Amino acid sequence: MSEGLINFLTAWQNTMYILAPSAVALGIIILVVFKLLLGSKKELKSKYDFVSKFEYNFLFATHASIALGIFFICNTYKQETVLLSFIWFFIRIFISLCIGVLYGYIAQLMLKYYYPGVQAKKLHKYRYTPRTNPNNGNEMKLLSEEEEDVYLDEGMQAEEDVFSVDYDVWIDTETGDTKIEKYEGRLSALKCDRCGFQTLKLEKEEVIKDASTEQEGELIKHYKCSYCKRIKRKNVKLSMGKTESDYILTEQSQFVNLSNSKKVILIKVAIHSNEGEIKNYEFQNLNEAQKFLREFSFKKSIE
């Protein structure tokens, strides 16, 4: 092997020794930054919002950095063999890439299937841990769906009725002080440009021109605000050759072994599409879950 190749391989080796711990250290720094930012949030609602919006991204970046570190460190293995034949340099890169990608793939599977359950428990704790009245330190009580309507205006109630927003009302039973917290709903709805509430829901779709393999199609989406009754229409292009499938819950969808609903503290519903997509929802009581299932449309849930 020529002296030039030997110098290149030596420089490569030294570079990998620097990049490997740097990548792993970067992953650790990202995780530490997330913990510090989370710890800086004083209120449980702020922690809830931060975890629900950013935790996945921080964890993904952490594992991506570690995967790079694994790739770099593997590129330092068997240097003496690589110096005997340059072909082993490419073989080592390929093996290192496979190992790094394997770690990344396993991490991605963990984030996709295991992480949602862990996050759900964390979010449940942040959301339902009793609040403290900042004025006197009294523990506050979370009102039920029926009780909280007294403290919500008509617009807020309309947002809850279409499942676009969910409000929690905490009350200090001694002083009557209330605290209202706003959470993302289980179904998405657009913000109405007239009343300002998230109550603009898709009512129907009207196909103007079918899509084919040669030209785009077009449909009109009809929206209606359930609060101020505003009507809105939106034209949407359909990709060539695109077909749509809807996912509908049948009347056979029901709960079993829940006759004594007073013993039920939490209901979880997992809805699976025939394309493998899974949507998870949580409810505080049986009536809320049943109402949700009666109105649920998988197609509208991804608008």
For 234-278, the DSSP string reads: EEEEEPTT------B--TT----S-S-GGG---EEEEEE-TTS-E
Its pTM surpasses 0.85: no
Question: Does 15 share its domain with 92?
Answer: yes
Query: Between 22 and 252, whose confidence is greater?
Result: 22
CA distances from 78 to 1, 7, 165 (A): 16, 16, 58
Question: Does 21 share its domain with 121?
Answer: yes
Does the pLDDT at position 19 exceed 60? Answer: yes
Whole-number average pLDDT of the chain: 81
Does the pLDDT at position 102 exceed 80? Answer: yes
Query: Which 3 state secondary structure label does DSSP give 173?
Result: coil
Say how many domains are in the chain.
4
Question: Does 99 share its domain with 181?
Answer: no
Question: Does 155 share its domain with 264?
Answer: no
Evaluate whether 192 touches 158 at the Cβ level (below 8 Å): no
Q: What is the dihedral of CA 47, 53, 55, 61, to 10 degrees?
A: -150
Does the pLDDT at position 154 exceed 90? Answer: no
> pLDDT-derived band of residue 187, with 50, 70 and 90 as boundaries?
low
Question: Does 240 share its domain with 250?
Answer: no
- Tell me what the mean pLDDT of segment 231-246 comes to: 64
Question: Does 16 share its domain with 90?
Answer: yes
Residue 247 has a pLDDT of: 38
The phi, psi pair for 272, rounded to 5°, reads -110, 130
Question: Does 115 share its domain with 215?
Answer: no
- Tell me what the mean pLDDT of segment 184-211 comes to: 75
Instruction: List CB contacts of 26: < 8 A, sequence separation 6 or more.
Output: 65
> pLDDT-derived band of residue 132, with 50, 70 and 90 as boundaries?
very high
Question: Final residue of a domain: which of 188, 210, 232?
Answer: 188
> pLDDT-derived band of residue 245, with 50, 70 and 90 as boundaries?
very low
**For 61-75, 101-115, 166-180, 212-226, which range has the lowest pLDDT when averaged over its residues?**
212-226
Query: Between 68 and 234, whose confidence is greater?
Result: 68
Does the pLDDT at position 274 exceed 80? Answer: no
> pLDDT-derived band of residue 272, with 50, 70 and 90 as boundaries?
low
Question: Does 184 share its domain with 267?
Answer: no
- Tell me what the mean pLDDT of segment 266-270 comes to: 70
Residue 163 has a pLDDT of: 67
Does the pLDDT at position 111 exceed 60? Answer: yes
Query: How many angstroms separate the CA atoms of 278 and 121, rounded?
Result: 18
Question: Does 88 share its domain with 147?
Answer: no
Residue 27 has a pLDDT of: 96
- Tell me what the mean pLDDT of segment 243-249 comes to: 41
> pLDDT-derived band of residue 100, with 50, 70 and 90 as boundaries?
very high
Helix pair 44-74, 3-40: axis angle to 10 deg? 170
Query: Between 215 and 5, whose confidence is greater?
Result: 5
Helix pair 44-74, 87-109: axis angle to 10 deg? 160
Question: Does 101 share its domain with 168?
Answer: no
Domain limits for position 302: 245-303
- Tell me what the mean pLDDT of segment 49-73 comes to: 95
Can you point out the beta strands (E) in 53-209? 141-142, 165-171, 178-184, 200-209
Question: Does 114 share its domain with 212?
Answer: no
Query: Between 133 and 275, whose confidence is greater?
Result: 133
Question: Final residue of a domain: which of 205, 226, 244?
Answer: 244
Question: Final residue of a domain: which of 228, 244, 260?
Answer: 244
Cβ atoms within 10 A of the Cβ of 74, count?
19
Residue 186 has a pLDDT of: 60
Query: How many angstroms separate the CA atoms of 266 and 92, rounded?
Result: 52
CA distances from 80 to 4, 21, 93, 224, 288 (A): 16, 22, 15, 71, 67
> pLDDT-derived band of residue 276, with 50, 70 and 90 as boundaries?
low
Query: Between 233 and 46, whose confidence is greater?
Result: 46
Question: Does 37 share its domain with 119?
Answer: yes
Mean pLDDT is highest, among 2-6, 16-20, 84-88, for 16-20
Residue 266 has a pLDDT of: 62
